[in-house]
Structure 1
Amino acid sequence: MKVKFLSIIFFLISLSQVLAQDFEVAPVTLYFNANPGESQSKVVTIKNHSSEKKSFILSSTDFEITTDGEKRYRPANSTKNSIASWLSISPAFFDLEPNAERQVTVSVQPPTDDDGSRWGAIFVRTTEEKTTFESDAKLSAGITISPRIAIQVYQTAKSNKNLKAKIDQLREIPSEDSTERWFSAIVTNLSDIIIHCKVFLIASNMQTAKEHQYPPVQFDSYPKNTQKIILKMPKGLPKGTYALAAVLDYGSNVNLEGTQMVIQVPK
């Protein structure tokens, strides 16, 4: 009975993986660096892997970033840094035969007086026409929306070099892994553009001056946004007192930022 149950579970998992691959989108992240008034375009390829003809619709949407770095989708043009009004998609609706593919052009044109960062997403969905009897009255034209793939879209003018960020509030937090010690810190983006950040954790023995550096945490920091990051240090340092530093690197032409605390490593 147990074997039969497991077989059913594996079948359902396999089935979900097949259904999830009815269509493919590439790439799923677009980075633009158009200067004010300049237009830039990129191409996205959509492939229909199903055995049936499919109709596709592409629509823009906004997203916000929480302090934990999670994305929360919002309606287009509803957030301060929405890219939706700068964005054009061609074509935004089309049909694809089985195993066929179509290229879609995504263009961004910021206004002449704005060199700040904007971001958002494009949802790619398949649609299924329904009869009038089947259609829900709340759905326009009898179309129901299927599962979607999101294309992340980012724009930062290449002429804007005014980067500014800080890191502080380094502290130890409970670890969910018995082989590691976990620490948190707060990174604040003080500029008007998206900044790619790397944060290194460095432990320096205060008696011997020997340093231990750990792989960085990498992430995008959004304008005027504060984000909590988690830094992990494997257990196993020699016994002693350590100066622990979280060092923020967010560009080759700016100074490093850091925050520090003292920790004890027992036997």
Structure 2
Amino acid sequence: MFALLFLCCAFNAVAQNLGAFPTTLDFKLAAGQGESQAVTVSNGSPRKVQFRLYLNDWIRDSLGGHIYYRADTLSRSCAKWVSLSTTFIELEPGQSKQVTVKLQMPEDPNATKEMKWAMLFIETVEEANASASKTTAASVRNLLRIGVHIYQTPPNVTKKEIRAYDLVPAKDAANTYNLICQNTGDIMLECKAHLELSAIADGNKTKLDQIEFPMFPQQRRLVTFELPKNLAKGKYSALAVLDGGEDISLEAVESEIEVK
């Protein structure tokens, strides 16, 4: 389905009708290979909308937040090999257009030794008349943006591996624990983690809801578990389980915790 954007205030109705599909482009290219994929940008709003398109580098931090950088800044960037069929689109109400995203890998085998990625931003701009003394100038104000993830995983890069290191109390919140884990493999993984508690006093068991999250290769991650408010006070054996998906063994760490 289309990725819809939401914005408070007066522009909310328009934002809900702007979209891009797909929001993830997966490439699996060897050295020297190229491939083009299409992204459809749509305007379901009642007004004409203009978009500018550009690339950024990005990473996920230890809590899963996105940090953005200028294109072709990071060692894992594939931005320099990406070309766009256009960097500007204007859509009338109800109109859609396709943008071609081409990834062309160089012949250099070093370029395909590891997974690389980038982000394509499709950002709305609005022209507004701004009066300055006796002249009128067009000013551009950024409004919204959609991020399209671009992933390049060479066919020779296949190692899947995860590690769960420790379960530790969160420093800034009571009855909250962080599972410290890492993707020690070479490709991005869609991971799941959950926490199982067993009361030492009576053996009563509690299982917290599963948390799903992606991890880039070599990324370290903190997965935060907040204990239920109604959990009885006392000591518990806590088992944190990390699942990296198919073909990967489960990882787990066990710790004794106390609810006060």
What TM bracket, shorter-length normalisation?
0.7 to 0.9
1:164-203 alignment runs, 5 A limit? 164-173=161-170, 181-203=175-197
Give yes or no for contact 2:158–2:186 (8 Å, CA) kept in 1: no
- Normalised by the size of structure 1, how large is the TM-score? 0.76
Which residue of structure 2 aligns with residue 123 of structure 1? 121
1:93 aligns with 2:88: yes
Which residue of structure 1 aligns with residue 223 of structure 2? 229
The root-mean-square deviation of aligned C-alpha atoms, in Å, is 3.3
- In the alignment, which of 127, 140, 144 is matched to residue 144 of structure 1? 140
- Alpha-carbon distance, 1:116 to partner: 1.8
1:104 aligns with 2:102: no
Which residue of structure 2 aligns with residue 46 of structure 1? 41
The 2-side partners of 1:129 and 1:175 are apart by 44
Residue-by-residue CA offset, 1:90-143 (whole Å, 9 max, x unaligned): 2333332332111122233444521422222111123456789555xxxxxx67
The 2-side partners of 1:35 and 1:238 are apart by 55
Give yes or no for contact 1:127–1:143 (8 Å, CA) kept in 2: no
- Alpha-carbon distance, 1:241 to partner: 4.3
User: Structure 1: any 5+ residue segments left out of the alignment?
Assistant: 1-11, 136-141
Give yes or no for contact 1:54–1:97 (8 Å, CA) kept in 2: yes
Instruction: Name the count of aligned residue pairs.
Output: 246
Give yes or no for contact 1:115–1:156 (8 Å, CA) kept in 2: no
SS at match of 1:16: helix
SS at match of 1:15: helix
SS at match of 2:224: strand
1:261 aligns with 2:242: no
SS at match of 1:215: coil
- Normalised by the size of structure 2, how large is the TM-score? 0.77
Residue-by-residue CA offset, 1:15-38 (whole Å, 9 max, x unaligned): 231243463222323333334444
Q: What letter is aligned with 2:165? A: D
- Alpha-carbon distance, 1:77 to partner: 0.6
Relative to structure 1, the CA distance from residue 240 to residue 13 in structure 2 (aligned partners, 3 Å threshold; closer, same or farther) is closer
Which residue of structure 2 aligns with residue 84 of structure 1? 79
The 2-side partners of 1:252 and 1:98 are apart by 44
User: Structure 2: any 5+ residue segments left out of the alignment?
Assistant: 1-6
Of all paired residues, the percent bearing the same amino acid is 29
